[in-house]
Amino acid sequence: MLPMSKIKEPAILEHLERLLEFVSGCAKEKGFTSKRIKEIELATEEALVNIFNYAYAEGPGDVEIKCGLDGDDRLVIEILDTGTPFNPLSLSEPDLTADVADREIGGLGVFFIREMVDEVQYRRDAGRNILTLRASK
Partner 1 sequence: MEIIDGGKTKNTVIVAVKGRMDAVSAPEFEKRLGDWIEGGEIRFIIDFCDLDYISSAGLRSILTTAKKLKAKDGQIFLAALKEAVKEVFEISGFSSIIPIYDSVEAALSQA
Residues binding partner 1 (CB under 8 A): 13-14, 16-17, 20, 35, 38-39, 41-42, 45-46, 49, 52, 96-101, 103, 105-106, 108-109, 111-112, 115
What single letter denotes the amino acid at residue 130?
I
Q: Closest by alpha carbon to 24, among 79, 80, 77?
A: 77
Burial, 121: exposed, middle or buried (Cβ in 10 Å; 0-12, 13-18, 19+)? exposed
Nearer to partner 1 among residue 41 and residue 70 (C-beta): 41
Nearer to partner 1 among residue 39 and residue 62 (C-beta): 39
Nearer to partner 1 among residue 2 and residue 96 (C-beta): 96
Burial, 17: exposed, middle or buried (Cβ in 10 Å; 0-12, 13-18, 19+)? exposed
CB of 99 to partner 1, least distance (A): 5
